[in-house]
Amino acid sequence: MIDILPIRTQPTTASRLASVDFDHLEFGKAFSDHMFAVDFVNGEWQEAQIVPYGDMAVSPANSALHYGQAIFEGMKAYHQHDGGVALFRPLDNWARLNSSAERMCMPTISEELFMNGLRELLKLDAAWVPSAPGSSLYIRPFMFATDGFIGVRPSETYRFMIFTCPVGLYFNKPLRVRFEQKYVRSAEGGAGYAKNAGNYGAAMYPTKLAQNEGYNQLIWTDASQHQYVEESGTMNAIFVMDGKVVTPALSTSILDGVTRRSVLQLARDMGLTVEERKVGSREVMDALAAGKLEEAFGVGTAATIAPIATIGYEGHDYDLPVTGAQAFSKRVTAALDAIRTGEGADVHNWMVRI
């Protein structure tokens, strides 16, 4: 492990902050003034830098473009009720980034390099953190291969970067979803647990087909039998059935979501029974027919908690019950919001101040 070098910083001379309409933020469209970057060359990470956000040059033979060696994370920083800024569970994202890197034959990042880069970037762009309810600063750490080489082998050089963007709500109304029982997002033994770019590219076509049918997202099922729930779109799936919080157990085909972990911990804190196990699509529909499916929702960094209003199954749509004020999804959303903004007790030490 090399010593962490100082971060060379080049502040922008033309901030774009004043041009952003913070009252009408469209997710992933407005980018903050700066970005963090560091290159991996000759077996070690080089000098880190923070520069104005902008385009960069890559070789046409860039091996990430041809062979898919690219990974990323999604995380958020929140405006605090006392005026500060804090990150939500950043070390969980750092650990998952390294898990993805190992799966994709890429170098890992030290905690010091990851956190120092993140802190310095957010200090510089602290004014970009929105303060309106439901808003946050979305953070995208990512790594990609940089060899200019045509040949199927791991790259010898890489670039790790972080940029940020102020965002509002990802979904502004309950979702219409359907079970996907033909196409596959990931199979056991594959790279579904890693946040590599190819997972998301492969999911676009079946998702587009569902959207053409009027659905917002899919509920992916297992690759071998198409009977067991995996994820919902880019989110983990959670069901409240017969008073229990039920979610698919983690596997090599399911992403270990940070929001998923948080929701399950808060459910346990509330005294609810949590089951992490195989969840059959037929089980979900039978529970709905019997009046035992109380709620279904997706959880993820971008969407946070996205309630599901309608589920499509075998060519028919089924509406879920309208949730009341005491629904678990609403209570856990309020609890997460309070922790993230500093208004609630952070008993699990999830927040890291900047």
- Which pLDDT tens digit goes with each residue over 229-284? 999 988 999 999 999 999 999 999 999 999 999 999 999 999 999 999 999 999 99
**Contact assessment for residue 199 and residue 234, using Cβ atoms and an 8 Å cutoff:** no
**Which residue among 167, 193, 215 closes a domain?**
167
Q: Are residues 183 and 323 in the same domain?
A: yes
Tell me phi and psi for residue 157, to 5 degrees: -130, 150
What CATH number did the domain enclosing 208 receive? Answer: 3.20.10.10
- The overall pTM is greater than 0.85: yes
What residues make up the domain containing 24?
Answer: 8-167
229, 230, 332: which is closest to 284 by C-alpha? 229
- Which pLDDT tens digit goes with each residue over 34-57? 999 999 999 999 999 999 999 999
The pLDDT assigned to 2 comes to: 44
What CATH number did the domain enclosing 139 receive? Answer: 3.30.470.10
Q: Are residues 35 and 99 in the same domain?
A: yes
What is the number of other CB atoms lying within 10 angstroms of the CB of residue 198? 17
**Which residue among 136, 167, 198 closes a domain?**
167
Both tokens of residue 112? 């010091």
CA distance 121 to 35: 7
Count structural domains, the chain. 2
CA distance 145 to 65: 8
Q: Are residues 260 and 333 in the same domain?
A: yes
- Which pLDDT tens digit goes with each residue over 57-107? 999 999 999 999 999 999 999 999 999 999 999 999 999 999 999 999 999
